[in-house]
């Protein structure tokens, strides 16, 4: 039987210890409000330091203050809301997610983790318990997890984790605007010194927890509103530029063309076939011994999400085609083997077509295993949320892998990490169809509240 399919909680409604007004009604209102803060009219888009992101920063900061937290915004645009612990110098619990979005995004990806953490702390605040937390608790709304504008991701969380190199400031977007330029526009400047100030000392951090929509179909299929994340797939982002010889669509004979568009089409179909059937492509020349191709195939995914061409006119054979590649797998050596094989085959194809091919590695994040002990604590927090809402439950809280990336990947370089997944309709995400049931938002808030209560 699926829990909270929307009708199992009517008797829970009026139980005052479930704080439905804050953890569900107000949290859902805030999700819709934040979901309207967009750089575009007609769809949701919020990118690094964009005007909408600046409005989102102020809105989230107000909500943090409404929960009794001390707030500040750091030089990389991360919003912090913190409460001191009753034990001086105790290591801090960090709870976070991201305030930026993809293009034409759903309103829950990132925002749910921020809003439900703030709501859980607000319940403690209203009940006079905030000051009784033994250790400091800090909510962080990270400024750039998706990496939509600069293709490098985790700019916010990487700066807190201390793994953002100063060279990142020179990364430019499609219009040649660098991260340094954007920060300057906001009268901010990042130097080695400021990066050192942004970095948290691992000795002052107890752990990092992130609540996030599953962005997959598992929880809905098994009928659970919450699950605990075992690990997060590694990811690589490439930028491929194919250059040929620009010409007249009507006069260049097919046999004499060096057409980068047709070449790109062949390269993209090759990528798909390699990721669908890696066992058919990966040569067993010893490179592959360190991983199992079968297990690789079960988690290997690849996507070409962006493509552009120059000069992009219907009667001109393009001179250049540029596209992005996103490759993910649970197994890092498997992902590397795929990239190795792919690159070799790409150069061969371009050679045979007399076009040139430049493959730029824009982003790499190794796979992450969540801390087992922290995951067990999150499991019991989810369990107690279910019990409070619908009484006894007889199944285990599910554990599952994440194909999506998360700020927890960057934060795992600073401290132990754990993640709680929230069921989303049809597993749909990175789409305006993304949706979470109000009662599942409630369950997420209650689970965080239960988790926080273990620090009282």
146 belongs to the binding site for ligand 1AL (CB under 6 A): yes
406 belongs to the binding site for ligand 1AL (CB under 6 A): yes
Q: Using CB under 6 A, which of 145, 332, 341, 371 touches ligand 1AL?
A: 145
* Pair 172, 129: CB distance under 8 Å: no
Helix axes 27-34, 438-453, angle to 10 degrees: 110
Answer with the entry of Mn ion, ligand 1AL, none that 138 interacts with (C-beta below 5 to 8 A by kind). Answer: none
Task: Map tokens 């007889």 to a residue.
Answer: 394
Answer with the entry of Mn ion, ligand 1AL, none that 153 interacts with (C-beta below 5 to 8 A by kind). Answer: ligand 1AL
Q: Which stretch binds ligand 1AL (CB under 6 A): 8-16, 140-148, 249-257, 283-291?
A: 140-148
- Provide the 10 A C-beta neighbour count for residue 444: 32
Structure tokens at 390: 């619908």
109 belongs to the binding site for Mn ion (CB under 5 A): yes
Answer with the entry of Mn ion, ligand 1AL, none that 147 interacts with (C-beta below 5 to 8 A by kind). Answer: ligand 1AL
β-bridge pairing 247-248 and 417-422: unpaired
Q: How far is CA 226 from CA 95, 107, 408, 422, in A?
A: 17, 18, 18, 5
* Pair 230, 400: CB distance under 8 Å: yes
440 belongs to the binding site for ligand 1AL (CB under 6 A): no
β-bridge pairing 70-73 and 79-83: antiparallel
Structure tokens at 20: 């439905």
- Smallest separation (angstroms) from Mn ion to the CB of 92: 23
- Smallest separation (angstroms) from ligand 1AL to the CB of 368: 11
Interacting residues of 3 by C-beta distance below 8 A, sequence separation 6+: 223, 224, 225, 386, 390, 393
| Range 204-233, binding ligand 1AL (CB under 6 A) | 215
234 belongs to the binding site for ligand 1AL (CB under 6 A): no
Any idea what DSSP says for residue 355? -
Residue nearest to ligand 1AL (CB): 405
113 belongs to the binding site for ligand 1AL (CB under 6 A): no
Backbone phi, then psi, for 111, in 5-degree steps? Answer: -60, -40
Q: Using CB under 6 A, which of 109, 331, 434, 439 touches ligand 1AL?
A: 109
- Provide the 10 A C-beta neighbour count for residue 350: 23
Answer with the entry of Mn ion, ligand 1AL, none that 341 interacts with (C-beta below 5 to 8 A by kind). Answer: none
Cis peptide before 172 (omega within 30 of 0): no
Q: Using CB under 6 A, which of 120, 161, 242, 404 touches ligand 1AL?
A: 404
Q: Using CB under 6 A, which of 216, 405, 418, 445 touches ligand 1AL?
A: 405
* Pair 229, 216: CB distance under 8 Å: no
The smaller minimum CB distance to ligand 1AL, of residues 22 and 160, is found at: 160
The smaller minimum CB distance to Mn ion, of residues 158 and 342, is found at: 158
User: By the criterion CB under 6 A, which residues form the site for ligand 1AL?
Assistant: 109, 145-147, 153, 215, 235, 404-406
User: By the criterion CB under 5 A, which residues form the site for Mn ion?
Assistant: 109-110
């Amino acid at each position: 039987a699926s829990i909270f399919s929307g009708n199992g909680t009517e008797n829970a409604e009026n139980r005052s210890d479930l704080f439905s007004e804050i953890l569900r009604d107000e949290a859902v209102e805030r999700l819709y409000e934040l979901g309207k803060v967009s750089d575009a009219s007609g769809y949701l888009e919020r990118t690094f330091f964009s005007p909408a992101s600046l409005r989102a920063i102020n809105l989230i900061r107000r909500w943090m203050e409404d929960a009794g937290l001390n707030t500040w915004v750091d030089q990389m645009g991360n919003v912090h809301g913190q409460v001191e612990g009753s034990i001086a110098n105790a290591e801090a619990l960090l709870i976070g997610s991201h305030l930026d979005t993809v293009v034409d995004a759903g309103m829950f990806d990132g925002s749910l983790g921020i809003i439900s953490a703030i709501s859980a702390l607000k319940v403690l605040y209203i009940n006079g318990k905030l000051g009784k937390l033994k250790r400091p608790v800090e909510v962080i709304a990270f400024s750039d997890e998706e990496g939509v504008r600069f293709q490098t991701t985790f700019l916010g969380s990487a700066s807190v984790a201390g793994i953002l190199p100063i060279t990142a400031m020179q990364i430019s977007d499609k219009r040649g605007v660098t991260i340094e330029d954007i920060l300057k526009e906001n009268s901010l400047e990042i130097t080695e010194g400021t990066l050192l100030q942004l970095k948290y000392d691992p000795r002052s951090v107890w752990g990092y927890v992130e609540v996030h929509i599953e962005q997959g179909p598992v929880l809905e299929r098994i009928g659970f509103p919450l699950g605990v994340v075992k690990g997060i797939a590694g990811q690589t982002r490439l930028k491929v530029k194919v250059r040929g010889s620009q010409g007249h669509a009507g006069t260049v004979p097919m046999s004499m063309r060096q057409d980068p568009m047709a070449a790109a089409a062949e390269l993209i179909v090759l990528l798909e076939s390699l990721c669908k059937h890696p066992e058919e492509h990966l040569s067993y020349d010893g490179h592959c011994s360190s991983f199992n191709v079968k297990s690789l195939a079960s988690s290997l995914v690849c996507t070409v999400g962006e493509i552009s061409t120059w000069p992009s006119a219907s009667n001109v054979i393009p001179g250049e085609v540029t596209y992005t590649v996103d490759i993910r797998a649970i197994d890092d050596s498997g992902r590397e083997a795929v990239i190795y094989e792919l690159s070799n085959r790409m150069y061969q194809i371009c050679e045979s077509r007399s076009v040139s091919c430049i493959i730029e590695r824009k982003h790499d994040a190794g796979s992450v295993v969540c801390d087992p002990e922290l995951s067990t604590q999150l499991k019991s927090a989810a369990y107690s949320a279910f019990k409070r809402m619908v009484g006894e439950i007889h199944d285990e809280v599910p554990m599952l892998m994440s194909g999506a990336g998360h700020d927890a990947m960057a934060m795992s370089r600073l401290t132990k990490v754990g993640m709680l997944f929230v069921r989303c309709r049809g597993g749909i995400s990175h789409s305006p169809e993304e949706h979470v049931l109000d009662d599942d938002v409630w369950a997420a808030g209650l689970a965080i509240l239960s988790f926080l209560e273990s620090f009282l």
